[in-house]
Amino acid sequence: MADTANNASPITVEDHRLNARVFRVMTAATGFAVMVSAFIGPWRVTVGLLLGGILALFSHRWLRNSSAAAINLAVGGHLHQVRLMQFLLRYLVVGAALFAAYEAGIASLPAMLVGLSSFVVALFVEALREFYFAIIQREEIS
């Protein structure tokens, strides 16, 4: 147990690869949704998808940086408490941006929520990838 307390970063190379794949799929899903919406949807829907997707990407990056500190809060220290506040501040920033865009009338609220859901699309793509490697190729999950 002492070894785990001294280990500053329990994140492995595979974790970084997974994070990069999820981020790429989130970016591609947002781009695809915005491109399709630009041709068939109203401009407020397109702006909402774009804003929601950008906020999802922003939130994902911010979460990656602050969640480890929130988990390590039990170790103690003022820096960890500041990081925990960043973890909670993320929700306030995203919510404020959604509220401001909706109140200004520049984006559709349902479209912004769909844009924020690009993380769900990325998780499904990752699950299908793992299913392919585990079942079709009979390899262990990476």
pTM of the model: 0.77
Sign for the CA dihedral angle at 109, 119, 62, 87 comes to: positive
The residue among 62, 83, 71 whose CA lies nearest residue 11 is 71
Is 80 within 8 Å of 71 (Cβ atoms)?
A: no
13-40 vs 43-71: helix crossing angle, rounded to 10:
170
Who wins on pLDDT, 135 or 7? 135
What tens digit of pLDDT does each residue of 92-120 get?
999 999 999 999 999 999 999 999 999 99
Residue located via tokens 């959604």:
98
Round to the nearest angstrom and report the end-to-end CA distance of the chain: 26
